[in-house]
Amino acid sequence: MLSAKHHQKIITALSILIPLAVAALFGIKINAKLPLFLPPIYASINALTAVVLITAFWAIKNGKRTLHKTLMKLAIGLSSLFLVLYIAYHITSNTTPFGGEGFIKYTYYFILITHIILSIAIIPLVLISFSRALLNNFIAHKNIARIAFPLWLYVAISGVLVYILISPYYLN
């Protein structure tokens, strides 16, 4: 098993590299068109992630550690799959502009901006929490999970809301 020091190096590297890679990939376009049905798939993955997170929270509150551990690994896997599909779609497709106006426009951009900022912030929080659990440091795990869980849940749910709000404009 890796030491806490090794975990920290991996967490730091991923916390920097993932957001930089996503930002860089928005400047890269591959001449291939992925199907328009990908956004509802990765929005569904976000929705499933939210359900898994809530179920994992219920599991740990009810003393079901093994179920909690399995569900948290599933949530990390789902978030990773989301990221791969999201990047694949956006490097092969043009950005869809939001066409709403007035209150809905401000609501959309508020949700989108907070979603983006918190999606970057949760990377180290989730990885630190997961690392502490792997190292059997459950007190430290619980302390960071109290912060990571609601933020990760918000990111998962807000991702679905962003999709719902922009989906009418995909075909325009």
pLDDT at 6: 92
Higher per-residue pLDDT: 26 or 152: 152
3-state secondary structure of 28: coil
pLDDT at 38: 84
Report whether pLDDT(138) > 90.
yes
Q: What's the average model confidence in pLDDT over 155-171? A: 92
Angle at 47 between CA 93 and CA 106, to 5 degrees: 65
Are residues 120 and 19 in contact, defined by beta-carbon separation less than 8 angstroms?
Answer: yes
d(CA 59, CA 142): 14
Q: What percent of the chain has pLDDT over 90?
A: 74
Q: What's the average model confidence in pLDDT over 66-72? A: 98
Q: Tell me which of 32-41, 66-75, 82-91 is least confident.
A: 32-41
d(CA 51, CA 36): 24
Give the predicted TM-score (pTM) of the model: 0.91
pLDDT at 33: 67
Q: What's the average model confidence in pLDDT over 20-49? A: 84
- CATH code of 96's domain: 1.20.120
Report whether pLDDT(35) > 70.
no
pLDDT at 34: 64
83 class by beta-carbon count within 10 Å (0-12 exposed, 13-18 middle, 19+ buried): middle
Range of the domain at 74: 4-169
Report the chain's mean pLDDT, rounded to a whole number: 92
d(CA 114, CA 102): 19
Q: What is the count of structural domains for the chain?
A: 1
Q: Tell me which of 36-40, 45-49, 136-140, 147-151 is least confident.
A: 36-40
Closest by CA to 18, choosing from 122, 120, 157, is: 120
Predicted confidence band of residue 36 (pLDDT cuts 50, 70, 90): low
